[in-house]
Amino acid sequence: MTIDSLSTASAARPIERHPAGYDAAPASGGAARAPATAVETAAAVKGAAAVPTLDQVSQAVSQLNQSPQARAQGLEFSIDKDSKRTVVKVIDQTTKEVLRQIPSPEALEIAKSLGSASHNAGLLIKQTA
């Protein structure tokens, strides 16, 4: 590799060419793999992921809440009973006040109102004339 000075005009650098037997595989001994095609990438993104059950999510949430890292960071994980969504709260360690909640309580209320089975399902605003 060469470093050219800004004040000097240098000739164009030659293109690096590799010998015929050059192997671009990493030194770890892995086999060289061609880049993924667009079809392979799209299939990987659209691939059906295993959906965890509510029991599995509850167990994962309880394990997260017991972890020392979550406690040290002031994180609390839970599952909203109505929407069945995972909720993360950032809690101040000294005052035990909720500093931030994701999703917000308002977003959970909107999800609850959109998911209700009443005849007004899907309405966000109830107005009377």
Confidence (pTM): 0.51
- Dihedral pair phi/psi, residue 43, rounded to 5°: -65, -40
Instruction: Summarize pLDDT for 45-104 with one digit per residue, the tens.
Output: 776 677 888 889 899 999 998 988 888 889 999 999 888 889 999 999 899 999 999 999
- Over 70: is that where the pLDDT of 121 sits? no
DSSP state of 22: -
The residues, ordered by sequence, that sit 6+ positions from 70 with a Cβ below 8 Å of its Cβ are: 64, 76, 77
Q: Which structural domains are found in the chain, ordered by start?
A: 54-111 (3.30.160.170)
**Predicted pLDDT at 83:** 82
